[in-house]
Amino acid sequence: MSTSARSRTVHIGPDGLHARSREELVLDVLFDDRRIWSLWLHRDGEDEPDGEGTFVAWPKGMKRFLDGVARVSVVVHETGEVLYDEEHRFGDGEGRVEVVDRDGNPLATDKTGRLVKTFATRSAEHVAPLLDAVEEVLDALRRAGIDAFVAYGTLLGAIREGQLIGHDSDADLGYVSEHSEPVDVMRESFRLQARLAEMGYVTQRYSGAAFKVVVTEADGSARGLDVFGGFLRDGHLYLMGEIRAPFQREWIFPLGTATLEGREVPVPADPDRLLVATYGPSWRTPDPAYKFETPASTHRRLNGWFRGIRPQRPLWDGFYARAPEPASWEPSDLARDAFAAHGTDATYVDLGCGHGADARWLAEQGATVWGLDHVPKAFAGTAASLPEGSTAHFAALNLHELRSVLSTGALLARQPGPKVLLGRHLVDAVDRPGRRNLYRLCDMLLRDGGELWLEYVCRRGRDRLARRLRVKVRQPARIEAELAGAGATVTGREVLLASTPVGGKAVEVPSRICRMVATWR
């Protein structure tokens, strides 16, 4: 055995990969000859307790597939040296391990370590819709006065290989604004997004200067195309979401072209400069496990200027992806009691409506109701199944985006009659900036009457309620002080025992829920 092979032993275990190597290695893990996972041994791993080597856990989401047999190969990415190549049995399963999604599409980790459908397993026919979308969005941006180019992994693929990178899973576009003030760069990005929405694209904003265009592919799956805004300021290029580097305008403009999957795409005048700023001077060496290491000072700047409009969104996206249906369609006590107090005279607004069970029930009682939630996917099923002529309406509301709060407030303020706003586990789910915008919205909707009805966890019990609901415990005195500070008067306050059973059994020490009613007159 050579010294090199001896010093690079690899074992596969139920929890991950154990390896020993003095030098850092980028490893590809293949199941039955297909790349599943790429990793940096030292960067991604932790020292074994006995000090003999490194352990790297299977990526998140991988373990559920690990039941059965696979020929597992571990290969040094750069040299192709095979460190491990054996049939391995995971668990008690008899069949082959298949890392595929619900529709049977092969999955592998992308650069962020998530299991996704990557380009490596996709045919020309499959990448064509994405490339079509790249061209279409580039054209749309051009018509809006913006000369965009392919950026990040897509630029890297075009320049280095002339094709989409096998381990990549999306396409990225970037542009450098003529503006140099962040406020102007964001306004421009808002207008661009609005133009694309007008053209019929589904978009989702990430930050003040970046958004995603959702493209539906031939197989019906949705794939994101990110549009990152950038600008030049004080001799530096800033490009969402990771770059701040000394830069000159002539390294971007006039744009050049490169070939990507046989199509001509725009690239910066000097793509090497942008790739160095993105991936470092070693960008020509493929590294499927590359992770951005953004300097803290760059993070601070980009966060301060542009970010903060979607805290916790990934958490709730994940929550509703796992729970497309509510546990029960029964209305909450809050909805029942508010309806008992106000009947059909009021227009109800369920803030943070989730699946929309309360909104649906209120409409069934004959009330006009608006269900609002940050995650449109949460109420999409309910909204689509409403009977014709239903008095329930659903819309997106992001309490961390002032534009969303103000325009929603204006839209609903035009509805006739007093409003009753329901916020069930809302103030315990959103942070202080989100609550400030909530109170602003209430102020807009309740000036001429109506009430805000809140329920939130105010004392932790043994039922783990706050944890299950993904909320924090809030002190009633604090919420009351916030409301008073926002111009509200608290007219009702009571503390209730949480009635949610755990596994059908009564809990010895249930959590406590505070119900609070406030007006803004």
Partner 1 sequence: MAVKDSLGKSARTVGEKVAATTVVDLRRRVKRLEDEVQECRALNLRLAELTDLVTELLLPVAQRDEAKVAELLERYQKSL
Q: Which of 4, 259, 303, 499 binds partner 1 (CB under 8 A)?
A: 303
214 binds partner 1 (CB under 8 A): no
Q: How far apart are CA 144 and CA 124, in angstroms?
A: 30
377 binds partner 1 (CB under 8 A): no
Looking at beta carbons only, is 169 or 404 nearer to partner 1? Answer: 404
Task: At 512, give phi and psi (nearest 5°).
Answer: -115, 145
Q: How far apart are CA 501 and CA 511, in angstroms?
A: 11
Contacts 24+ apart (CB under 8 A), 272-278: 272/159, 273/247, 274/151, 274/155, 274/237, 274/239, 275/155, 275/156, 275/159, 276/245, 277/237, 277/239, 277/243, 277/245, 277/247, 278/151, 278/152, 278/155, 278/156, 278/242, 278/243
- Preceding amide of 254 cis, omega within 30: yes
> Is-contact 516 441, C-beta < 8 A?
no
Residue with tokens 């602003």: 440
144 binds partner 1 (CB under 8 A): no
Q: Which of 194, 218, 341, 481 binds partner 1 (CB under 8 A)?
A: 194
Query: Which part of the chain contacts partner 1 (CB under 8 A), choosing from 102-110, 121-129, 391-399, 481-489?
Result: 391-399
Looking at beta carbons only, is 300 or 464 nearer to partner 1? Answer: 300
Q: Which of 141, 395, 454, 498 binds partner 1 (CB under 8 A)?
A: 395
Query: Which part of the chain contacts partner 1 (CB under 8 A), choosing from 38-46, 93-101, 280-288, 403-411?
Result: 403-411
Residues numbered 25-44 forming contacts with partner 1, rule: CB under 8 A: none
Q: Which of 117, 205, 212, 424 binds partner 1 (CB under 8 A)?
A: 205
411 binds partner 1 (CB under 8 A): yes
DSSP 304-356: HHH--S-TTHHHHHHHHHH-SS-S--SPPHHHHHHHHHHGGGSEEEEET-TT-
Q: How far apart are CA 51 and CA 274, in angstroms?
A: 40
299 binds partner 1 (CB under 8 A): no
Looking at beta carbons only, is 80 or 200 nearer to partner 1? Answer: 200
Beta strands in 343-425 (DSSP E): 347-351, 368-373, 392-396, 419-424
Looking at beta carbons only, is 182 or 510 nearer to partner 1? Answer: 182
Query: Which part of the chain contacts partner 1 (CB under 8 A), choosing from 66-74, 392-400, 464-472, 488-496?
Result: 392-400
Looking at beta carbons only, is 398 or 511 nearer to partner 1? Answer: 398
**# chain residues binding partner 1, by CB under 8 A:** 35
Residues numbered 432-491 forming contacts with partner 1, rule: CB under 8 A: none
- What distances in angstroms separate CA 489 from CA 27, 457, 467, one per listed residue? 61, 20, 30
Residue 65 backbone zone (phi > 0: left; psi -120 to 50: alpha; other: beta): alpha
Q: How far apart are CA 399 and CA 428, in angstroms?
A: 13
> Is-contact 117 105, C-beta < 8 A?
yes
89 binds partner 1 (CB under 8 A): no
373 binds partner 1 (CB under 8 A): no
Residues numbered 309-348 forming contacts with partner 1, rule: CB under 8 A: 309
> Is-contact 378 356, C-beta < 8 A?
yes
Q: How far apart are CA 266 and CA 326, in angstroms?
A: 46
Reported as half-sphere exposure (CB side, CA atoms, 13 A), residue 350 has a value of: 31
Looking at beta carbons only, is 11 or 310 nearer to partner 1? Answer: 310
Tokens at 297, concatenated: 């000072």
Question: In one letter, which amino acid is 348?
Answer: Y
235 binds partner 1 (CB under 8 A): no
Residues numbered 168-187 forming contacts with partner 1, rule: CB under 8 A: 181-184, 186-187
Distance in Å, CB of 60 to partner 1, minimum: 30
Looking at beta carbons only, is 208 or 266 nearer to partner 1? Answer: 208
Distance in Å, CB of 419 to partner 1, minimum: 16
Looking at beta carbons only, is 158 or 185 nearer to partner 1? Answer: 185
Q: Which of 59, 174, 208, 461 binds partner 1 (CB under 8 A)?
A: 208
Distance in Å, CB of 307 to partner 1, minimum: 8
368 binds partner 1 (CB under 8 A): no
Looking at beta carbons only, is 99 or 372 nearer to partner 1? Answer: 372
301 binds partner 1 (CB under 8 A): yes
Other Cβ atoms within 10 Å of 37 Cβ, number: 25
94 binds partner 1 (CB under 8 A): no
SS3 sequence of 468-518: HHCCCCCCHHHHHHHHHHCCCEEEEEEEEECCCCECCECCCCCCEEEEEEE
Looking at beta carbons only, is 407 or 475 nearer to partner 1? Answer: 407
Query: Which part of the chain contacts partner 1 (CB under 8 A), choosing from 136-144, 231-239, 405-413, 485-493?
Result: 405-413
120 binds partner 1 (CB under 8 A): no
Q: How far apart are CA 32 and CA 100, in angstroms?
A: 13
- Residues binding partner 1 (CB under 8 A): 181-184, 186-187, 190-191, 193-194, 197-198, 205, 208, 300-301, 303-306, 308-309, 395-396, 398, 401-404, 406-408, 410-411, 414
